Chains A and B, each alone.
Chain A
Amino acid sequence: MAQFQSYNKLLISAEEGIENYGLNGKILGWQFRCQYPSYRGTYLSCIHSMEVYLDGERVPDGDILFYLNGKEFLLSEFPDLYKEYWFILDKAVVRVQKDGGLPAGSSHRLLVKMKHLIPYTGYFGNYLVLDGSNEKMLTVAEKEEAVL
């Protein structure tokens, strides 16, 4: 239970925080950046679930787009992504589609939970499945990101 615990802070990057993103002057949603919570990378197929909560409210999985390795993924695609490696230093962009995004300058409590399997820990036939979570208070940046 104790191993990996301190890596959970990587789930939300404080450096970029929350940003709105959009196109042609229209804000299409908000986003944050996320590193895999471990010392090494993993395959996206090992991530069993990723839950995003804003101010205590669960964001529907279907509103979330996950950008990594120059590609866009749905959370529901993860079980099939056994050749998609998430390098430990790469920050995935997690986008939440929401017209108008979030008010610039407003503060929010962002919570990310990730259930993930450590693929190599089958010492006696069982895999270690971790429930990682991290919560941060973040302010929405003024800047408007373009579509990737």
Chain B
Amino acid sequence: MSDIRLSLTLYALSAEYTTGRFTLEDCLRKAAQMGYTGIEMVASQMVPEYPYPSRAWMDHFKELLAKYDLHPVCYSAYIDMGTHADRDLSEAEIVESTRADLEYASYMGFDIVRTQHAISPKIYRQMLPYAAKVGVPLTIEMHHPHNPTVPVWQEYLRIMKEEPEYSGVVPDFSIFAEHPHKLEKIQAVEDFGCRPEMVEEITARHTAGDSEEEMLQGDYTVPEKNYVKELFETYGDGHAHLEWLNEVLPYTRYIHGKFWYLDEDEIDRTIPCDKLLPLIKKAGYSGYMASEYEGHHFSETLNSCEQLQRWVNMSRRILASC
């Protein structure tokens, strides 16, 4: 029996937060008002003393969660491999930052830590006993351009199969994206100088199944050819590999419901949620699924809460009818 609950990653409110329109408390209040029962926090975004949150700040954060009756679902951690100008992080540094993230997450009561693929299979396996010690599973996000067929992910999935207690994957819907969204098309025109009619033509040809090679031979400008390349990089041939769900769902502890833009009709034309959500429900997934609005990378003026509400309505509609 599936029990899918909706959480909000506060990252979805980045436009309001970074410009000072929303404080952290405003973000939490909005989450509660929109009906979410859980939240995800990107520590490097919300913690003023990052990467070393003070006990005072963490206590304040816990009080805010209690005030708005929100459950701390996911503490999002990073493997900032490129921090040093002249070298990648050493194994010792990755271990240290992951250990610290697990401790902070445990103190604040989060269900899981979400880290990144760059942790490496060797260090991931090495850290799982520590995750058990502090009582917080250490999960890895699977995000485009990665997918279950990438060699490093075959290793991660094997580790998750062998040591399931404190491991897990967080699939991000970006791995299922099929078509460009409206904000991307606007950006191609307004920021990169593509002709609007050519953006429409290229998008239609991609959907119709024309190859990248054929399209790059077309009579397009340099920015338009870049748009062609971007479509193939981000959306492949325009058909989501729904079968990838079967490979990740046995180890899934949390889901990133990524989206960029929904129109008033509340249909996602980029990510096939109408196919994904019934499969997730049918597989019996129980846990939180985050609304991860990411249109803020393209426009900081759209109303993020309106976008979130549309996505929540869509998800509830699909889940109720399957």
On A, residues with C-beta under 8 Å from B are 1-7, 9-10, 35, 39-41, 43, 45-46, 79-80, 82, 85, 87-90, 117-124, 127
Binding site for A on B (CB under 8 A): 11, 14-15, 17-20, 42, 44-45, 47-48, 50-51, 78-86, 88, 116-118, 145-146, 184, 187-188, 191-192, 226, 230, 296-300
Q: Which residues of A contact B298 (CB under 8 A)?
A: 2, 5-6
Q: Are A120 and B81 touching (Cβ within 8 A)?
A: yes
15 intermolecular pairs with C-beta atoms under 8 Å apart: A1-B192, A1-B226, A2-B297, A6-B15, A10-B18, A39-B11, A39-B42, A45-B84, A46-B83, A80-B85, A85-B51, A117-B82, A119-B83, A120-B81, A123-B117
Q: By the criterion CB–CB under 8 Å, are A82 and B84 in contact?
A: yes
Q: Give the CA-CA distance A119 to B84 in the complex, in Å.
A: 9
Contacts of B11 in A (CB 8 A): 39
Q: What CA separation (Å) do A92 and B48 show in the bound complex? A: 14
Minimum CB–CB distance for A107 against chain B, Å: 23
Contacts of B14 in A (CB 8 A): 39
B81 contacts A39, CB within 8 Å?
no
Closest 3 CB pairs of A and B: A119-B82, A119-B80, A79-B85
- Which residues from chain A contact B84 at a C-beta distance below 8 Å? 45, 82
CB-CB nearest in chain B for A127: B82
Residues of B within 8 A of A41 (CB): 44-45, 50
Is the pair B296, A39 in contact by a Cβ cutoff of 8 Å? yes
| Chain B at the A interface: SS class | loop
The reply to whether B226 and A3 contact each other, CB–CB distance below 8 Å, is no
Set of chain A residues within 8 Å of B146, measured between Cβ atoms? 123
Are B85 and A82 within 8 A (Cβ)? yes
Whole-angstrom CA separation of A41 from B83 in the bound complex: 12
The answer to whether A120 and B145 have CB atoms under 8 Å apart is no
In the bound complex, what is the Cα–Cα distance between A80 and B85 (angstroms)?
7
A1 B80 Cβ-Cβ under 8 A: no
- New A-B pairs, 6, CB < 8 Å, besides A39-B296, A41-B44, A120-B79: A2-B188, A2-B298, A5-B297, A6-B15, A9-B300, A90-B48
B46 → A minimal CB distance (Å) = 9
Across the interface, which residues of B come within 8 angstroms of A124, CB to CB?
145
Of B18, B83, B117, B187, the contact of A39 (CB 8 Å cutoff): B18
Q: Pick the residue among A40, A85, A89, A118 that contacts B42 (CB under 8 A).
A: A40
A89 close to B18 (CB less than 8 A): yes
* Cβ A122 vs Cβ B18 within 8 A: no
A90 to B46: give the CA distance in the assembly, Å: 11
Q: Looking across the interface, which residue of chain B has its beta carbon closest to that of A35? A: B18
Smallest beta-carbon distance B307→chain A, Å:
14
B81 with A119: CB separation less than 8 A? yes
Q: Whole-angstrom distance between the alpha carbons of A51 and B85 in the complex?
A: 19
Choose one: B48, B50, B82, B187; the contact of A118 (CB below 8 Å): B82
A11 to nearest B CB, angstroms? 12
The residue on B at minimum CB distance from A118 is B82
